[in-house]
Chains A and B, each alone.
Chain A
Amino acid sequence: MVDTVIFWVIAAITVIPAFSLIFARKAVYVAMSIVLVMVGLAAAYITLDAPFLGVVQIVVYTGAVMMLFLFVLMLVGVDRREDMKETLTGQRWIALFGAGGLGAFLIAMVARVSLPVAEEPLVGEPDVIAGVLFERYVLVMEVLGFLLITAAVGALVLTHVPRLKPRKTQLEVQRDRVRVGADPVNKVFPGVYARHNALDVPALDPQGEPIEQSVSRVLKVRNQTQEGAHFRARLDDPSRAGGSDAEHSGRGLSDPERLDPDRLDPDRPDPEGSDREEGR
């Protein structure tokens, strides 16, 4: 009685998801349904006194093979639509009819057979399997080892992409840039370091003007930049115009008290930074 219930449960969780192979639209759904089928088959193996094979089924099929399928699905694009256009007319119905006929034929043949079932079967525990595997089938086992190595090497060879052109060295990249007429050095880094050390503010040139191209193009498109003028050194005020003091220290501050060079001033632009920009 319990066996009958187990059989029908296994039949349900293998046959119903298996139909997704024919009817499901998306390949990922098919892969997940086949995972369920594999788990059902593992349950069937354990019911049939093959516990080792049941565990191997879960490890190899649901764990490795189907996850490999999912990886490849991600690689080639999940949303790729399958074209439903029929190349051969009526091929789908002929195929379904043929497969159905095959299934009906097999079932009819198997149903005629009645075999005496062994009363005390050998249970496929790991040590029993290992005994048979390494005594009677040891040569097959070694050949399978060769097969696995060959398969791994074959996969490496098949997915290997040969390099069509020799790799460019850094020197060649630089020469190409100069030949095209691009700026040979890096662009100025954004940010007014003494005031706002973030990427959304353009750098200031030695005259205190913002350098627009120092800000990332992406941030500009997203309207995430700030105006450089807000952070600029206050160079345009009258005290700076003639004041050699302010020019020397790199500050243009209207407040006379704050012209003291020794005083630590959070608003002071970084003199090293402006030197660096001049150097370029």
Chain B
Amino acid sequence: MDPINFVILACVLFAIGAAAVLVRRNAIIAFMGVELMLNAANLALVAFSRIHGQVDGQVMAFFVMVVAAAEVVVGLAIIIAVFRARQTISLDEPAELKG
């Protein structure tokens, strides 16, 4: 099986994640969409690493995982802080600033 098929799979997953970020109002679900996009990028990196026969792409994917873990920690802390302040995690809350 040509590893380029996994790159196409990564494209599909990336599009689904992007759609989730754009469509959903729940901040946690939108955040999971971001995670799915990061994982799609990881899959593409690993597939290209396999195509080239080197492990550099895998090391990059490993770095992306570390950064994603840090991002999840801070992002979820922000969601909890917003929830404490406003009792909601809807992403549409700022609409009330509209004139």
Contact = CB atoms under 8 A, between A and B. Distances in A.
- Tell whether A and B belong to one assembly: yes
Interface of A: 3-4, 6-7, 10-11, 14-15, 18-19, 21-22, 27, 30-31, 34, 37-38, 41, 44-45, 48-50, 52-53, 56-57, 60-61, 64-65, 68-69, 72-73, 75-76, 80, 82-85, 87, 91-92, 95-96, 98-100, 102-104, 106-107, 110-111, 113-122, 124, 128-129, 132-133, 136-137, 140, 144, 147-148, 150-152, 154-155, 158-159, 161
Interface in B47-93: 47, 49-56, 58-59, 61-63, 65-74, 76-81, 83-84, 89-90, 92
B36 A37 contact: yes
Given A7-B5, A30-B32, A96-B23, A155 B63 contact: no
17 contacts: A18-B17, A21-B29, A44-B6, A69-B72, A72-B28, A82-B24, A98-B22, A99-B19, A99-B22, A102-B18, A103-B12, A107-B8, A124-B55, A144-B63, A147-B66, A151-B71, A161-B84
Nearest to B79: A72
Interface of B: prevailing SS = helix
Ranked nearest first, the 5 interchain pairs of A and B with the lowest CB-CB distance are A118-B53, A103-B15, A95-B22, A99-B19, A151-B70
Contacts, number: 232
Contacts of B8: 107, 110-111
A106 B11 CA distance: 6
B30 to A, nearest CB: 9
Interface of A: prevailing SS = helix
Contact of A6 (B1, B17, B42, B69): B1
A128 B55 contact: yes
Interface in B1-48: 1-9, 11-20, 22-26, 28-29, 31-33, 35-36, 39, 42-43, 46-47
Contacts of A136: 56
A194 B95 CA distance: 67
Nearest to A60: B65
B47 A48 contact: yes
Nearest to B67: A147
B69 A65 contact: yes
A106 B14 contact: yes
B29 A30 contact: yes
